[in-house]
Amino acid sequence: MSIDIYAIPSAPVVEAVAKASRDLAKHGMTTFHAKGQAAHVTLYLTRFPADAEARLKAAVADAVKDCRAIPLTVEGTQRTASNWLFLRVDRSPALQRLADLVTLTAEPFRDHAVSAPAWMRDYPEKLPAFERYGSPNVFMQFDPHLTLLANETSPGLAAFMAEAEKNPPKATGQVAGIGIGVVDANGQMVKTLAEFPCAKQP
């Protein structure tokens, strides 16, 4: 099963996702957030055997038991070649360290027989990370974001992007906690397995 270990954003970041969702709705598009999916920033996503769930949860719980809320900053939008739409998240040193910690903690439990997805043919620089860690977006390839849309076909997307270039989405919040969840092919939560709150910074 595909399991995502993710950062839970605080209210100001969730509101940025909600605002972008409202703006996209004006152009006829419905975001994952508008469909009821929780906003999250993926730290490590790969496939795990079903019998690894208990050990994975225990290992992550131990690794993040002393976590403290770290800054989480939204800076603009990103549209991919296949029309996925993200809010970009600043890859701060603190967020990078958290993603690295989670990756090293969870990787031993993953399915080592997983094969690279077809889209990775266009991103050969990500292949070494995938082959070693089962995920293309770890360590130097870590690319934090909040997913709004996937494979969007609406012509309204171009109009939204033009507006977003003039007035880029911005927000400053914190990582409120770490979660573990089963996700679908679009990386959206199907089932929450565990969530661990982080102590607030003074």
Per-residue pLDDT tens for 32-54? Answer: 999 999 999 999 999 999 999 99
Q: How confident is the model at residue 121 (pLDDT cuts 50, 70, 90)?
A: confident
Query: Taking all residues of the chain, what is their mean pLDDT, rounded to a whole number?
Result: 95
Contact 135, 112 (CB under 8 A): no
Burial class from Cβ neighbours inside 10 Å (0-12, 13-18, 19+) for residue 144 reads buried
pTM of the predicted structure, to 2 decimals: 0.94
- pLDDT at residue 118, rounded to an integer: 80
* Closest to 73 measured CA to CA, from 84, 88, 63: 88
End-to-end CA distance of the chain: 38
- pLDDT at residue 120, rounded to an integer: 81
DSSP code per residue over 17-86: HHHHHHHHHTTT---TTTTTPPP-EEEEEEE--GGGHHHHHHHHHHHTTT-B--EEEEEEEEE-TT--EE
d(C-alpha 153, C-alpha 82), whole Å: 9
Mean pLDDT for 143-160 is 96
- pLDDT at residue 202, rounded to an integer: 61
| Percent share of the chain, pLDDT over 90 | 91
| Residues contacting residue 184 through CB under 8 Å, at least 6 positions apart | 2, 190
* Closest to 154 measured CA to CA, from 33, 34, 25: 25
Mean pLDDT for 173-186 is 96
